[in-house]
Amino acid sequence: MLFRPDLTRIYIQQFIEGMKVLVTGGAGYLGSILVPMLLKKGHDVTVYDTLRWGVNSLIHVANNSRLRIVKGDIKDRKHIADEISLQDAIIHLAAIVGYPACDANPDSALDTNISGTRNIAEFKSSNQILIYACTGSCYGAIDGNCTENTKLNPLTLYGKSKASGEEIIRSVGGISLRLATLFGLSTRMRLDLLVNDLTYKAFECKNIELYEGDFRRTFLHVRDAAEAFIFALENEQNMSGEAYNVGDENLNMTKYNVAQIIQKLIPDCSITQTYSTHDKDKRDYEVSYKKINDLGYRNKISIEEGIREMLRVFPFLSVGEPLQYCNI
């Protein structure tokens, strides 16, 4: 039989456009942005989530017949195995996220971020796509520019658990996306992320109390992060088994740089640098995004745009459950 590249491309495109996709943690900050994008692409999406923060983040897509919502925990081996068996692809977002949450309950963090991830890798079949949400926190404090070949040096339980999860995922051919620190609006809003936190403090208190302002971080809008998972899903053949930094080198900046951008948009806000408080998360690094950029991925949303969109909403925002607010 003759090989027809044109027909092969058509078949692959049809497969990509009509997949069954499991999104663990799909009701969360990132998941609730990603799920509508997957539905718009024509995929059948199963959200597998503990629903600890409720289901409101997905109400706007609940009328889509391609959406299933399953309440479950990735530590439940039989339940997650049954759901994985129905899928073409797994996007694994579920985790205890951030060093404060992990430090508050270390056993739960290890069980979820490592044991739960091991369950997913174990039950994945060889023909299923697996994409994992990792973090730049795995780099720790590094001199120079971090590439995917830089030795990981996580400084927190969160970073260590996510690095262990990445090793598990890559051992079965999965793709690991090492995300920069996220920011921006989501239907499951979080204010414990640096840009979101500083913006809210600037709006509400007219003051940003900043410590260790010279520490370097790198940032990524939550919608751009969601687009990266779509990109990985559609380019899996070129990306499987590898880790990719996801972000933008133009968004490598210090915490003080971020505060200055916020101050430009909230002119009556002051910045106070304090040296009596220290961040337990000592991350300090710059990151290269050349590897994923060379494949064609680009982020689109600047920190300024992300701050402006939050400022349209913050006057009407009530801080409390299910909205998460923690000081950075």
Whether pLDDT at 318 is above 80:
no
* pLDDT of res. 321: 43
* First CA to last CA distance, the chain: 62
Dihedral of the CA atoms 233, 184, 135, 169 (nearest 10)? -30
- Please name each of the domains of the chain with its CATH number: 5-183+219-249 (3.40.50.720)
Of the candidate ranges 134-143, 222-231, 260-269, 275-284, the one whose mean pLDDT is the lowest: 275-284
How many CB atoms are closer than 10 A to CB 18?
Answer: 13
Q: Sorting pLDDT into bands at 50, 70 and 90, what band is 142?
A: confident
CB 264 within 8 A of CB 311: no
The two tokens of residue 63 are 């009328």
The two tokens of residue 43 are 């995929």
Distance CA 55, CA 292 (A): 33
| Vertex 86: Cα angle to 84 and 88 (nearest 5) | 80
Distance CA 39, CA 37 (A): 5
Distance CA 199, CA 212 (A): 17
- Helix (H) or strand (E) run with residue 234 in it: helix 222-234
Distance CA 74, CA 111 (A): 9
* pLDDT of res. 10: 41
Please write the tens of the pLDDT for every residue from 196-210. 999 999 999 999 999
Mean pLDDT computed over 280-301 = 90
Q: Sorting pLDDT into bands at 50, 70 and 90, what band is 320?
A: low
The two tokens of residue 109 are 């963090």
Distance CA 205, CA 33 (A): 29
Question: Quick check: bond before 106 cis, omega within 30?
Answer: no
Of the candidate ranges 96-105, 224-233, 243-252, the one whose mean pLDDT is the lowest: 96-105
* pLDDT of res. 211: 85
* pLDDT of res. 17: 65
